[in-house]
Structure 1
């Protein structure tokens, strides 16, 4: 007797769950903005993932405006991430900015005055690796251009 009541209750719950799924699937399919909302959510998730990984696409170092835009973008990202407590990624972005900066010594002096000493030391430790990565990127871009010329 108890098993049959339990079976009926489970069947009713299962049927309600399936009805719930069908209802919201139809609602989703008939929503004209569903695809647009989905694209926006995916784009936002991608931005958040890039911010977490600290990945930044390096500009063409020969294009002054692109380098200047990249510099400002990296300083802003670095400050934002440091502000929310993500020290590793914040320092990564600030080191990218220092590496492409026209006057890195002046920027380092400003950062030394504004950042806590332990974060500034982390920035100084990370700077050689980032500078090397940017130099490698510049040389690979130069090689690709030379290959196109030939």
Structure 2
């Protein structure tokens, strides 16, 4: 029979060997002359991809294409809800504001949001709405689409 002490000693030896293995390969990896260069390139690539994703998220659709507008609206609502659920109120409100700005019936959407969102978050949305609405209106005018301003 194997005693508890033997199991403990075996576990300790295995743990020590594993930690030694990790230290050895970490030291070997860090001593690689190209390690810092590869790490820097990896970080730059990730930063560039993040910027591209951020600009793609806020890119407004072609307002002549109703399907693209509907898709954009649904994506913005979904992203806004996800970010609010994660506690990122700034970005969540930004996406919900984009959705309200392109919505065909913004008054009804605002009523629903007023009932479902916390008061502070809804106030943030109302504060950002005029600037985003102007940006959407300018984009729609440049694309040749006609949008009625139902918010006023």
TM-score range, shorter chain: 0.5 to 0.7
Shift of 1:142: 2.7
1:46 aligns with 2:57: no
Shift of 1:130: 0.3
Instruction: In structure 2, list runs of 5 or more residues that go unmatched.
Output: 1-26, 146-152
TM-score scaled by structure 2?
A: 0.62
1:21 to 11, 32, 35: 32
Shift of 1:62: 1.2
Task: Give the alignment's Cα RMSD to 1 decimal.
Answer: 3.5
Higher helix share: 1
Q: Which residue of structure 1 aligns with residue 77 of structure 2?
A: 75
Shift of 1:107: 0.7
Instruction: In structure 1, list runs of 5 or more residues that go unmatched.
Output: 1-15, 29-37, 144-150
TM-score scaled by structure 1?
A: 0.63
Equivalenced residues, count: 114
1:1-150 matches, within 5 Å, as 20-21=31-32, 42=45, 46-47=49-50, 50=53, 55-142=57-144
Contact 1:74 1:97 in 2 (8 A): yes
Runs of 4+ in 1 over 3 A off after TM superposition: 16-20, 42-45, 47-51
